[in-house]
Amino acid sequence: MLICVSDSMTYAYVSGIKLFPETRTKQEFSKNMYAYFKMYPSVKSEFKDVFVTGAFVSVKERVFWMDKGKQVSQIALGVYEVRRGKIVHVWYFPSER
């Protein structure tokens, strides 16, 4: 996935009118994802719906993982901004189970 990410890519969560930056560079994003997959080794995700509007790709993503022997999941809306073939910004909105 990192091959598709720009060096200055930002990743943020949106809650109401507030923006919470999670990472501000490709290197920070890589470290964050490594820690996430280490913490949740069973996690898998799939895009349920994808909409493209110019440089923006909106996705409805369902994420699955094991919790105490049971599979659980949640779904969220994400928006990716793609420029020159690289992801430059990502915004994720609150998830629902």
- The answer for residues whose C-beta is within 8 angstroms of residue 3's C-beta and 6 or more apart is none
Q: Please tell me the predicted confidence (pLDDT) of residue 47.
A: 95
CA distance 38 to 66: 13
Q: Please tell me the predicted confidence (pLDDT) of residue 97.
A: 74
> pLDDT tens for residues 64-73?
999 999 999 9
CB atoms within 10 A of CB 90: 21
* H-type alpha helices, 2-97: 26-39
Domain boundaries, the chain: 2-92
Mean pLDDT, rounded, of the chain: 95
Strand partners, 89: 10, 81
Q: Which CATH class is domain 2-92?
A: alpha beta
User: What percent of the chain is modeled with pLDDT above 70?
Assistant: 100
Taking residues 43-55, report their average pLDDT: 96
Taking residues 45-72, report their average pLDDT: 95
